[in-house]
Amino acid sequence: MHPVLFRIGAVLIPSYGAVAAAGVLLALMLAVHNARKLHVDPNRIWNLCIVMLFIALFGSRLLLVIVNWTVLRNHPLWMLNLAMIHHPLLAGIGVLIALAVAVVYARVNHLPYRAIADVLAAPAALGVAFEQIGALLAGSGYGTGTHMPWAIVYTDPLAARWSDAPLGIPVHPVQAYAGLCFFAVAVGLQFWLPRRRQVGDLAGLFLMATGVVMYVTEFWRDPIGRGALFNGMLKAPQAAGIALVIMGALLLLERQSQRIALPTAPQDPLPFTTNEQAHG
């Protein structure tokens, strides 16, 4: 595929970073739009997303430096290449850091957790969809070998250097499978946004859908570096997918305190219950 989108002289513009950045921008705009729809302060949502993004990126790259410090100490110029390295584990760590930041930010600013999660559900799915398309171009999280007519072949040495993609071997475009699924999830969540019955419904649906997509698409991802559990019966991302499905199901449980309150007057629409406003 094409790990480099284009070149400006000696400067390389990586496809992964460019596509992921486009996804982030679209996700930010959708998050602000959803915040207005659900009567959550869009400025705080924007600030939250920016903080989550930068701290997640900084934290994941800092961890990469710490893990490889022995090598980087002897070859300090290699640090310039850290931004080009793509690995599913880094993405997972970035997500965990972003979630921790979101919890702290919401607590400090007295924002309702479930309402924020609903605002960010569809944008998160959209962002992941673009990230997977970027991974497809870069070779990150590549698929297993196949002879299907839609198989892809990586030939650029940079795909192997930055993402450990195999060269010259037809593989499943599993990142495209996941990307299309997440696009569908984003559209579905956006459609369901005005139809949710209780606060947290969109977040629960997002977690369950993400878990299912992660579990199923792992069957077509190369197992190297994915982690084997229970004597190889499960990969680590599949176990994480099962956990996400359970978490999403718990969010979808009926709770009277989280039911969407019907507006008492046209000028007073309530996106979440008085109880949640009081307790965050």
Count how many domains the chain has.
1
Residue 171, φ and ψ in degrees, nearest 5 = -130, 160
DSSP alpha helices (H): ranges in the chain? Answer: 15-37, 42-67, 69-74, 88-108, 113-138, 157-163, 174-192, 201-217, 236-252, 274-279
Q: Of how many residues is the chain composed? A: 280
pLDDT score for 274: 45
Confidence (pTM): 0.82
The most distant pair of C-alpha atoms in the chain lies apart, rounded to whole Å, by 68
Give me 143's structure tokens: 């698929």
pLDDT score for 278: 46
pLDDT score for 97: 81
Burial 3-19 (b: 16+ CB within 10 A, else e): bbbeeeeeeeebbbbbb
SS3 264: coil
CB atoms within 10 A of CB 231: 6
Give me 62's structure tokens: 């800092």
pLDDT score for 250: 92
Q: Which residues of the chain have pLDDT under 50?
A: 265, 270, 274, 277-280
Task: Give bridge partners of residue 170 from the DSSP assignment.
Answer: 153
- The closest of 183, 179, 240 to 212, measured between CA atoms, is 240
Range of the domain at 222: 4-279
pLDDT score for 69: 63
pLDDT score for 3: 80
